[in-house]
């Protein structure tokens, strides 16, 4: 019985070590992918953003000319921030 328990403890330690190593590999892979972009379009391109504003009952539309993948990323981040701000404002008004 003691041998079986020791064997299971050793196997658990081995699995934990493997999991730790895999987590480190995933972190390394994530770091190595920073700055890489999937480019589904050619540049320059025009990106149209649309948000529905419940307060005004209108769809806000604006266009941006994008020249690089970095600009695309920044544009999408600005859109995300604006959408979150609008959602937060709407949530505050419903309280």
Predicted TM-score (pTM) of this structure: 0.54
Partner residues linked to 49 by β-bridges: 62
Q: What digits encode the pLDDT tens for the residues 31-76?
A: 888 877 666 778 899 999 999 988 888 999 999 999 988 898 899 9
Q: The tokens 């949530």 sit on which residue?
A: 91
Q: Which two tokens stand for residue 60?
A: 């806000």
Give the three-class secondary structure for 40.
Answer: coil
67 closest CA partner among 39, 26, 34: 39
């Amino acid at each position: 019985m003691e041998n079986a328990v020791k064997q299971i403890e050793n196997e658990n330690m081995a699995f934990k070590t493997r999991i730790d190593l895999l987590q480190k590999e995933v972190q390394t892979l994530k770091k190595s992918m920073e700055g890489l972009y999937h480019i589904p379009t050619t540049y320059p391109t025009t990106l149209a953003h649309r948000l529905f504003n419940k307060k005004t009952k209108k769809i806000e539309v604006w266009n941006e000319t994008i020249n690089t993948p970095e600009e695309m990323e920044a544009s999408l981040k600005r859109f995300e921030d604006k959408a979150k701000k609008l959602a937060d404002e709407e949530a505050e008004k419903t309280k």
